[in-house]
Structure 1
Amino acid sequence: MANSPEMRASDADRDRVAAILREHTAQGRITMEEFNERLESLYESRTYGELAKLTVDLPDVDLRHLPVKAEAPRASQKPAQQGMHSGMKAAWSAWAVASGINWVIWLIVSITSGDLIYPWPLWVMGPWGVILLMSTIFGNNPPKRP
């Protein structure tokens, strides 16, 4: 069944038209002022006919086949760097610092007691290290960027 101009539009329909307006703004067909005016009218629209009036003077845009914009590499990020995301690096750093502190404490206690005591830091760094290792090997979902 074809959508008649009197038929009610959904939020998804409004979002689609908003995306089309954003694309036309990005391409320079409408100014930011026009975009804001049309966007205001868009969210007040109730029917397909009202939505169509907002883009009637603009060419059709296929949102599924837009050219992909290349993201410029950040200064702190090397292009060939495909390793761990920053959250995983921070987790490994915390593990290394905590493990180092525990080994220093163990060494100080061993030296002051005059005898090598049981290497208890293994119980701190072992399970935590295993969990981090499994997350590093099998976890492939980096954190979402805002």
Structure 2
Amino acid sequence: MANSPEMRASDVDRDRVAAILREHTAQGRITMDEFNERLESLYKSKTYGELAKLTADLPDVDLRHLPAKAKPTPAPQGGLHPGMRAAWGAWAMASGINWGIWLIVSITSDHLVYPWPLWVMGPWGVILLMSTVFGGGQPKRR
């Protein structure tokens, strides 16, 4: 049986129209002010005819076939965001170079030199560790 304009609408029908209005707002067909006005009228509507007036000037939208939203990219196999992996790589490279210099200086001076590379890698490593553990793993989006 076809829905006549005088037939009472349900909450599910109103929610379906609200989803259509949200999609048209997202696509830029109606402004946020228009969306808010239509949404207010939507939840005051009682019949299918009143619901139809809210979307009469808009093209049909099939809510079952909306374009897929961009999904966040999964973390790489290491579990770290690529930016964090790069930061750890830079830390490892700088630490390795500093320890290499320390080793060369210690060997050529016939005694062990104070392990100064600890002061280079220590604070930097602690900051990276805290960022890795408590940083959430994803960069902030603007």
Task: Measure the CA separation in 1 of the matches of 2:62 and 2:78.
Answer: 34
**Who is 2:26 aligned against?**
19
- Return the offset for 1:92: 0.3
TM-score of the pair, normalised by structure 1: 0.51
SS at match of 1:116: coil
**Who is 1:11 aligned against?**
none
Identity value in percent? 55
SS at match of 1:90: helix
Task: Measure the CA separation in 1 of the matches of 2:84 and 2:129.
Answer: 10
- Return the offset for 1:143: 1.7
TM-score of the pair, normalised by structure 2: 0.53
Q: Spell out, residue by residue over 1:19-61, the C-alpha distance to the aligned partner (whole angstroms, 9 max, x if none).
A: 246xxxxxxxxxxxxxxxxx6xx78xx978xxx9996252366
Name the Cα RMSD after superposition: 4.2
Q: Pick one of 84, 87, 96 that aligns with 2:83.
A: 87
Gap change, CA 1:132 and 1:102, over 3 Å in 2:
same
Q: Pick one of 98, 119, 124 that aligns with 1:102.
A: 98
Gap change, CA 1:47 and 1:107, over 3 Å in 2:
closer
Unaligned runs of 5+ in 1: 1-14, 22-38
- Return the offset for 1:100: 0.3
**Who is 1:127 aligned against?**
123
Unaligned runs of 5+ in 2: 1-21, 36-52
Native 8 Å contact 1:95 1:125 kept in 2:
yes
Task: Measure the CA separation in 2 of the matches of 1:110 and 1:116.
Answer: 5
Task: Measure the CA separation in 1 of the matches of 2:26 and 2:56.
Answer: 11
Which 4+ residue blocks in structure 1 deviate beyond 4 angstroms? 52-55, 66-74
Gap change, CA 1:130 and 1:55, over 3 Å in 2:
farther
Task: Measure the CA separation in 2 of the matches of 1:90 and 1:67.
Answer: 33
**Who is 1:58 aligned against?**
59
Q: What is the number of residues matched between the two proteins?
A: 104
Task: Measure the CA separation in 1 of the matches of 2:70 and 2:98.
Answer: 45
